[in-house]
Structure formats: structure tokens, C-alpha cells
A and B are shown apart, each in its own frame.
Chain A
């Protein structure tokens, strides 16, 4: 009997154990058609409308490889500094499950298309950690099961299950790291940084939507602990259902602490799949792994081997876009950023957004300021990723333009941004409908200025006496009276003029 062990304090576990990670990332390619048939791959379509005899596994149907998916796999391999196989095959992974129409998954086994690479990952403090890549291979996705009647959509307790095969056969690339050792206390951070870097890379290559929330990027985190100083790996667990970057970090941290608790209490880690629960930031046991499963892999006889020529590989290499780390270097130069500024920009997940805002006409400094400061705060408050905010780089650029034209003050600009975020339309629409504008009509302002001077006669006297810096108090009063809509510069001029200065 294994007693329920306490999870261990993080600092304590680090004194006793070294963590070893292995990350398996599944990426759904954004090809127009599926891996082995011509069906569409649009996300969110009516269930079972993007299916055909091939992806439904009908008797007699045969797969035909999607050439674009193969190209994407090779390009991903090249970007990850991998070697490309001279010759490789697909293999069948045999197991029964209703979401898999053929009851085997067409995948790759011991002959992956690319292998032996690495990805340099920048951590929060700017330090670089090299994650070595074991392999990346091609496979097809499964359909989706919707368990009805049970708790939280899980199969346990469900009354029945509905199947949607739209996703069945969507091209997947599975990217597997070598064991990540030596990360120590930073292991959870390395895990998150790796998935982040991979996501940014794949997005820059336009091969996938890389949306963790929609499942187009999925991460399984393998965690094991070795006794401090031991070279031998402990038993690992594989945590699934890790649906955000933050969850990657939290899941790894939790499993490290759980393993440490079990091991310290004299228990053994069961090699199994764990299910991550976002709400409790903890994992629970899934199905036992490997020992029970025998996938009976064998080469897929319905497909012919793939033998990419050097010529083809070089052509594909030329199609690689500027990769994120190259881009960061360039941006730092172009925008004249310090290492720290660049890091903040990257950590905020704002690089692409700022670049797009600059492309839309804003200055790099203004664009950076908006995204890293005010908009990051808003994202935090809403609990969403920066890019998920309901404002586009073009809209931000327009706000910046309105400010530089003097049509908005900084304060008003925030009101306009808030309006856009609240779904009230484009900046110009918000300005129009909310009546937000800088009051620069002198007659309207003059009355407010006269009123303010009358209310503070001693200050007015000081100004008249040549103490122009005292004007600030009057300007402040006018701004308050006009609810910030006045152009402060013009108010100041009027105040000074009224006092004969």
C-alpha cells in the first residue's frame, strides 16, 4: 500500500533531488487539407462536416500524403537545427479507441523525418539555455470525444459519448526533446520558456496557429527526479492537458513537488499519464503507461517511403523566414533597446505586437510603451495573454497618431483605448461616440480660465508679478474643470496671457 504522500516544499526538494524533464509538443499544422486526404482543417466547423472515407477509416480507403505537411516538417526540423532523414517511412501505431477511425494512427516510429537538433531558449533573466531536440515526426490527429453526462466532460461517469471526426487526420508534428538535465530550480521556467520559444518560432514560420487554448499546440510534460548527484533517471510521469504556457510551468513544478513527496516518504513513482487541472494547479492519475500498452508498430504498407533530396532540403531552407532569435537581435539594433528593454519586451510577449504597431506607422518607443505598460496591465487585469486583448496593433497605432496630432491627450488616449477594449469600435468611432476630444476652442477655454483665476486671486497676482511657474495650479484647475479634455499647453498660454505675461 502506498500512503498518500505530502507534496514537498520546492526549496526542500531541490536540496535532495535533480529534476529531469522531457517535453513532447504536438503541433497541428495549418495546412489547408488533412494529412492523408483532401478534407478541410478549419477549426470550429460543424461536427463531422470535414470528413471523407479516408479520414473516417472506411473500408478500402487509402491515405495519400499531404506534400505541404512534409515540407512543413522538414522546415521545422531545419529551424530546430535538426538533421533531415535521407529516407524515412510512416508507421502504424495500433490501439483501439473510438476517436481513431482506423484503430491505428498513421505516425512515424523509428524513422522520424528530422532528428538531433536543438533550440536555444532565453530565460526571464536573459540567460540562454540550450534544449536538445531528439526528433520531430509527422502523424495524424485523432477525432474528438465529447463525453456527455459526466463531470467536466471526462469519460468517468459519462452517459454517452459523441464523436466528432473533423479533427481526425489533421496533420500533426510531434517534437520531442532529449532529457533536459541541469536546469535545477529553473526547470519549470525552462519548460515554459522552451514551449514559448517553440511557439514563437512556429508562428514566425506560419506553419501552425500555435493556439494552446484551441489545441493547435499541445504540450505533454515528462518529469522525473534523480537523487541529488545521481546520474540515474527516476521513474517519469507524463502530464497531459497542459493548455497554457503558465500551466506548463505550474504542471512541472507540481509534479516535481509531488514526486519528491512520494519518494521521500519511501514510495515509488508509478509510470503513468497525469491529468493537469488548471483550477487547482495539480495533477491526477490517468491511465498507466507503456507497460500495459504495446502499439505493435510496423511500417505503413499503404504509403511509400519519403526520401528528401539535398536539393529539396536546400530549397526549403531558403524559405525559412527570419527566425525569432535573429529578429530579436535586429529589433534591438533598429529600435536601440538595452538588453533589459528587449527582455521586458520579449517577456511581455509584445514583440510581434509592437512590430506590427510600428509597421502601422507608430514610433517604436511609443508602441513599446503602450504594449509593455498600459496594455500589459489591462491584460493582467483581464487574466489573458497580451495578444488576446481586443485591440489590434493598427488600432494602437491610430491612437498614437491621434495623440501626436494633438487630438488626444495621453489621458484621453487611455479612455479611447479602454473604449476599444470594451468593444465600442475603432479609436475614431470611440472618439466620436464618446465625444472624447481635446478642447482647444479658445472661447470655451477662456471662460474656464477666467473662472479659475477668479477662484485663486492670490495665485493670479503672483503670475502677474512675473512668477510664471505658479500658472501650473491654474492650469490644473482648468483641466479638472474640463475633465481633461483641454489641451494643457493652450490653457497655459491663455492663463499667462490673461495675467499679462
Chain B
């Protein structure tokens, strides 16, 4: 029997479960701290919600009910003993299945790693546990984080809670959908070309790609090492900030991790929420807009820019001429690195093994396993990258792409001499229909047009919802970009904008998620 239930927000249902799952992480943290609710109750409420809506959404690849409740009990005990590990102690979270967990499988959305439980925790995982955060489970994703729709998961697509016929973005569609479906108050994503921000934009949630090196990559199964960055996802800017401070910081196990103090993002979010952006210079990137962008997305973006002006920000247009070449450079650099990073999946030490019947050589088993274990998009990128790195082609492809990368970084540097933050739409369109772009990879790649430059340059970038597109009623994201290690600026501007948006639009956007069919 099925019935319909609320999105989980406070405006409907009014069951205890809905009341708890509708709260923001900051609100939950306050209630936990005040002893008004226990982590076990909160965790139970989320597990119930997951059980109810997963058939419609499929945000999770693995739900660890037992582990989550055990962690919740520990958080409650610690709090009772007066030693809560952090502000977020006892708050549940959904972890993208690309970060290693020693007590849960880590599949990266691939058949290649089906059933594989890593022997170690990622640094992000460890920091979450140490902060007392309750891990609900692992979220769905495009295979090895390659995709913009979560349709490349070997375990079936995740559906967008705003319209279950549509994609939730990707590669981290599971994490963002879990937030929008009120299956988790917080989530972790990873962003190589937009895999946190684009899903955030199309699900009406907040996603942040921190500065490259701001969050450790140790235990993040690599797609493209020089671009990958884990980051926080939440339903509000403040929630993302609270999570950001838990996971960020130098890690000696990651040589590319930045050895500098974590930007004060929580303080920045609280400051921003006061709604004063006087003295903040905002640059609208001329190259990220116009032709090819959905009308409703452009209108939402212009309204957001007007709102920033109204908050006192000084808005100017800036040009970043080399951004036009970002997509091309990205689709040489990322596949090149992935062709090397994914070479280790060879059936020898872990994961899938195909054709090992005693008659075949190791090389044959490797080939058969890789043929069977990788999906078409992963194979396409491995082949692209292998080609781009080949002797005789390296200079023309990989070498040239690295030069473009340098030019894009210089565009950012020049722009940040004029302004404090840059803004653009997060993605050119709202969520497209499942299956719509599967046959056309180029069309699919365009979803990351606006997000890719920040990965290439390594700077900090956020997507914050700017409302719904007036033509299809689907969420639109505003992208805010800041210089490396100035992540706090994202939070100040993002929180100010978010507060003004909610005031102007009559309440939190996320509470307008339609009701989901529940099991």
C-alpha cells in the first residue's frame, strides 16, 4: 500500500518524524545540545524516512541502520557525560560512496567494487566520526564520479525529489537528492568538475566545493587527482558551513592538502545572515551566461544579482575570456588522470575478478574484468585519456590543456583583483529528464560548463539555490566563486543571499519540494 507524504518539511505531516527531519542541521544541533531530543530519536526518524522514500528516490547504495544507531547511542552517551565531540555531534549525515569506510562497502557506483569494504577510513570519514556525526549510509553516484546525472551508476539512477522523472544531477546526485528528500540533514559530496554544485543546483540544496587542498583527499577514490575535492552539502548555507569546519584542515596523508588555518566559514555564514553586503564587490562573469542558457535560469540569475545589489553589494561585470576553453581542457585533463588512476582496478588484489578459470593469463583476466566491470562512460574517459597521454599526442592534448588551465587561473587572479567574489548560474539548465542526454555525451558534459573553471583553478565555489525557474518550476542554482583559501567569502555572500531570497520568496525554498510517494 502506498500513500503520499510530505516532503518532510515542517509545513506538512506534523508527525514527530516529519518534525525532526524537516529541521536544519543547525536546528537539530541546538535541540541536541538543549537535550530536547536524542541522537537516537533523530537517527531513527531519518532511517524511517529513508525506508519510506527510497523506493521513489534511490539516493542510497547502502544504509547502515545498525551502525548509525550505534553511533547515535555513543553520541548521546558522550553528550550525557558532558563531552559532545562537536557542534554536530549526533547529527546524521549521508556519505557519497566514493569515500572509504572501514565498516561499510565503498563501490563508487561501480560493479568493479561491488561488495568491497575498504581496510581503512578516509580522512573525511574519520573526521566525521571523531566529530560524533552519525553516518546513515553511502549515497549513489555516477560510476567513479563520472557524469552529471547519476545515470551512470551501475546500481540504477537516483531520482530528483522535485520531479522523480528527472535527474538529481551528478555525479553526487545521491547526496543532494538525500537532502532534498529529507533523508539526511547533511551530506558529503565530491566535486571534480561540478559534482557537488550542479546536483545542489538542480535539487534546490546548497553545495560547496572548497579550495583545492582544503579538505583531505586521503580515502577519496580518485577520478582526477588534480581536480577532485570533497565538500559539504546541506539544505542551508549555515549547515554547509558547520560541516565544512568538521571536514576541512591539513592532513599529512595528503601531500596536496593545504597547510594553513581553515577559513572561518561558520562565522562568515552567521555574519552573512545579518544581510549586509555593503563593501562587498561582486563580479558577474560575462562568459557564463547568454546563448545556450535556459531563459528561466537566466531570469532567476538576474533576480539573484539584483538581490545582491539590494543587500548593498557593488556588482560589476567582469570578463574571464579563457573560461570558454574550460570544458575542452577539462575533458583532456580529467580523462588523462582517470586513465591512470583507474588502472589499479585489475582484479589482482580486490574487487571484481572475471574469467579466472585457471586457463587464462593474468593479462587476460585483467582485460575481461575491466571489460565487464566498467560502464560505458568510464571506458570512454579511460580511452580518451589514454589517447591524450600517448606519445606523439601528449603536447597537443594534455600539454595544451595544462596551458589553458594556467590561462583560466590567470583569468581568476585578474578578476579577483577587481572583485571579492564572482557569480554565475551554477548550470545552464534546470534538471533534465532521465534518459534525455544519455545518448549524447557532449550535451551531458555541458551541464558542468559553469562549474569546471573553479576546478581547473582550484579556487573555492558554492552553489546556493536562487529559486525556481518560472518556466518549469524546477530549482536553479546561483554559483558564487572565491579565491583559494577565501572560502569564507562564499559563506558570507551565500548566507546573506539565502536570507534575502527566503524573505522575498516567502519561506525556505526547500520546503516547497513536492510530496513524495512513500512505501
Q: Which residues of A contact B221 (CB under 8 A)?
A: 59-60
* Per-position binary interface string of chain B over residues 328-366, scored 1 when its CB falls under 8 Å from any chain A CB and 0 otherwise: 000000001101100111101110000000000011001
Contacting pair B253 A62 (CB below 8 A)? yes
Known: A58-B118, A298-B394, A302-B225. A98 touches B348 (CB 8 A): yes
For the complex, is A335 an interface residue (Cβ under 8 Å from B)?
no
A-side interface residues, number (CB < 8 Å): 29
In addition to A62-B217, A96-B366, A298-B394, 18 A-B residue pairs with Cβ atoms within 8 Å of each other are: A59-B106, A59-B118, A59-B350, A60-B99, A60-B217, A60-B218, A60-B221, A61-B219, A64-B253, A65-B255, A98-B346, A103-B344, A161-B362, A294-B390, A298-B336, A301-B256, A302-B222, A302-B225
CA distance in complex: A303, B147 (Å): 26
Q: Which secondary structure characterizes the binding site on chain B? A: loop
Contacting pair A302 B106 (CB below 8 A)? no
* Per-position binary interface string of chain B over residues 304-338, scored 1 when its CB falls under 8 Å from any chain A CB and 0 otherwise: 00000000000000000000000000000000110
In the complex, how many angstroms separate the beta carbon of A31 from the nearest chain B beta carbon? 17
Contacting pair A58 B119 (CB below 8 A)? yes
Whose C-beta in chain B lies nearest to the C-beta of A298? B389
Contacting pair A53 B120 (CB below 8 A)? yes
For the complex, is B12 an interface residue (Cβ under 8 Å from A)?
no
For the complex, is B252 an interface residue (Cβ under 8 Å from A)?
yes
Contacting pair A98 B362 (CB below 8 A)? yes
Whose C-beta in chain A lies nearest to the C-beta of B218? A62
> Could you say which of A53, A60, A304 contacts B256, with CB atoms under 8 Å apart?
A304
In the complex, how many angstroms separate the beta carbon of B387 from the nearest chain A beta carbon? 9
Q: Which residues of A contact B340 (CB under 8 A)?
A: 92, 94, 104, 296, 298
Binding site for A on B (CB under 8 A): 99-100, 106, 108, 113, 116, 118-120, 122, 217-222, 224-226, 252-256, 336-337, 339-340, 343-346, 348-350, 362-363, 366, 386, 389-391, 394, 398
Q: List 7 A-B contacts (CB under 8 A).
A: A56-B349, A59-B108, A59-B113, A59-B344, A96-B343, A103-B346, A294-B390
Contacting pair A96 B120 (CB below 8 A)? no
Contacting pair B225 A64 (CB below 8 A)? no
Contacting pair A57 B349 (CB below 8 A)? yes
* Per-position binary interface string of chain A over residues 283-300, scored 1 when its CB falls under 8 Å from any chain B CB and 0 otherwise: 000000000001011100
Known: A56-B349, A60-B118, A61-B218. A294 touches B391 (CB 8 A): yes
In the complex, how many angstroms separate the beta carbon of A67 from the nearest chain B beta carbon? 12
For the complex, is A324 an interface residue (Cβ under 8 Å from B)?
no
Q: Which residues of A contact B346 (CB under 8 A)?
A: 96, 98, 103
Task: Pick the most buried of B120, B254, B340: most chain A CB atoms within 10 A of its CB.
Answer: B340
Q: Which residues of B contact A447 (CB under 8 A)?
A: none
Whose C-beta in chain A lies nearest to the C-beta of B100? A60
Known: A163-B348, A296-B391, A303-B255. A60 touches B222 (CB 8 A): yes
Task: Pick the most buried of A56, A59, A92: most chain B CB atoms within 10 A of its CB.
Answer: A59
Pairs A-B, 10 closest by C-beta atoms: A103-B343, A296-B389, A301-B225, A301-B226, A59-B221, A60-B219, A60-B221, A57-B344, A294-B391, A60-B100
Q: Which residues of A contact B389 (CB under 8 A)?
A: 94, 296-298
Contacting pair B122 A60 (CB below 8 A)? yes
Contacting pair A64 B255 (CB below 8 A)? yes
For the complex, is A102 an interface residue (Cβ under 8 Å from B)?
yes
For the complex, is A484 an interface residue (Cβ under 8 Å from B)?
no
Q: Which residues of A contact B108 (CB under 8 A)?
A: 59
> Could you say which of A98, A104, A161, A294 contacts B343, with CB atoms under 8 Å apart?
A104
For the complex, is A169 an interface residue (Cβ under 8 Å from B)?
no
Contacting pair B343 A94 (CB below 8 A)? yes
Q: Which residues of B contact A62 (CB under 8 A)?
A: 217-218, 253-255
CA distance in complex: A92, B224 (Å): 14
In the complex, how many angstroms separate the beta carbon of A160 from the nearest chain B beta carbon? 8
CA distance in complex: A20, B345 (Å): 41
Q: Which residues of B contact A101 (CB under 8 A)?
A: 344, 348-349
Cβ < 8 Å to B, chain A residues 36-70:
53, 56-65
Known: A298-B336, A301-B225. A58 touches B391 (CB 8 A): no
Whose C-beta in chain A lies nearest to the C-beta of B217? A62
Q: Which residues of B contact A65 (CB under 8 A)?
A: 255
Contacting pair B255 A304 (CB below 8 A)? yes
CA distance in complex: A324, B453 (Å): 55
Cβ < 8 Å to B, chain A residues 377-415:
none
CA distance in complex: A163, B346 (Å): 14
